[in-house]
Chain A
Amino acid sequence: MIYCEALTKSYPMGSGRKQVLKGIDLQIAPGEKIGLLGRNGAGKTTLIKLLGGVEMPTSGRVRRRMSVSWPLGFAGGFQGSLTGYDNARFIARIYGQEYRQIRDFVEDFSGLGRQLKMPVKTYSSGMRARLAFALSLAIEFDCYLIDEIIMVGDASFHQKSHEELFVKRADRALVLASHSPGLIREFCDRAIVIEQGLAHVYPDVDEALDVYSALCAA
């Protein structure tokens, strides 16, 4: 389980502070797939960062009672000046895993081939996403946090991600921030709409999607 208790987060803005999240209470059960909806700047990424422990809440707390991945996105999690292989080595070391296994998985899943010998900063955003995705799937977590990233890449990469994430890891929990109604409708058990710094939980995904499209239209 992951418990969020009265989470707030604000950032300094000029002389005041911008209140991004204003009190979020949330529970994520093992195996649960949650879609995170919200307009740009609503706080989806902020919430995912708090869930993953990348940033600390201004008040409230997050309790993690299962292993939670780092947030998967374009930025973060790896070092641009290091090669893809070096990043894999680093991840293997800090998570106490066998490097050879991680390397084999990353080679196979990312399909980056010889590019893995190049520094990550030379990668396109699609290639970065492939590497980031490969690295985090190479480590087994109970809950994966995914920020939009799944959209990038071509059809065959989509197919592979789908297979790894939704078929092989069907028993894991997932928090997926996305703008794509199709994706959320297909894979999520329930959805959260973030609006005005608050999280509205909808057990019915279609209802959440309706609310969300109404918000976007307004």
Chain B
Amino acid sequence: MNKFAAGWRIQRRVIGALMIRELTTRFGRENIGFLWVMVEPLLFAVLVGLIWRFMKGPEEHGVGIIAFIATGYIPLTFFRNAVTRSVRIFAANGSLMYHRQIKVLDFVLVRCLIEGIGAMMAFVVIAIALIALGEFPIPYDLGEVVAGWLLYWLFTLSLCLILAPLSEVSEVYEKLLPVTTYIMIPFSGAFTMQSWLTPAAGAFLYYSPFVHGMELIREGIFGPVIEARWDPTVPLAASMVLGLVGLALCRNIRRHLVVE
């Protein structure tokens, strides 16, 4: 038990140190510093929301279109950033492998944490701003929003755990990544609800692990105005399987990692 407590202390120390290091190297200490991490998702959500607003009018299926796009686009940018940032993460952090208490897993975890926290901050900021403008409802159930985010985050983390070691083995994955993240947009649930689609298409989307977190977030925001379908078993099972494969891959790649 003591050993476990000591390990946990070291783990917390390492994650904290790596996060601070990552934030200082990426954003520096000038002007708004690490707050930059939320600027990108914020801009994406606002601008895409505005474009949709002018293309399709103020509402869709009875919910404000800007609010709907914002709730979908922020998790999506989080996913895309986390995935792109996990590419060749081990080689880039090679000099840190000199310290035995830092494990390759920590790099993936830290990037996902930073992107996730940035996206959630953007989410809160945009919600407050839009509520003030009357474009966003008062959230129906905050617990559901948080739970939805956690499901979405967990699945993204498990994907990154697989992508990070694979990208180290072959450059092919890196080349295929942009097109993959683009193609998966319809399957992410960012721009539609299952209940808005034909029954066949909706049933198909049910098997996409992203959709459940997404619909849970939306139910937490909009409440019964929309019909959300979610089941945590799908994303949890998918994360578990991918996560285990990812852990095995990370362990294997560490054995062969050549550090300068």
Contact = CB atoms under 8 A, between A and B. Distances in A.
A and B from one complex? yes
Interface of A: 11, 49, 52-56, 68, 70-71, 75-82, 86, 89-90, 93-96
Nearest to A92: B17
A94 B95 contact: no
A77 B95 contact: yes
A76 B95 contact: yes
Main secondary structure of the interface of B (DSSP, over half): helix
B98 A93 contact: no
Interface residues of B, number: 26
Given A75-B260, A93-B13, A94-B14, A52 B21 contact: no
Query: Which of the listed residues A80, A82, A96 has the most CB atoms from chain B within 10 Å of its own CB?
Result: A96
Identify the 6 closest CB pairs spanning chains A and B, nearest first: A93-B17, A70-B98, A53-B100, A77-B98, A76-B98, A56-B255
Contacts of A86: 21, 24
B95 A75 contact: yes
A54 B16 contact: no
B113 to A, nearest CB: 16
B21 A54 contact: no
Interface of B: 9-10, 13-14, 16-17, 20-21, 24-25, 94-102, 254-260
Contacts of A82: 21, 24-25
B98 A54 contact: yes
B13 A94 contact: yes
Nearest to A70: B98
A88 to B, nearest CB: 12
Contact of B20 (A75, A78, A93): A93
Contacts of B102: 94
A95 B100 CA distance: 10
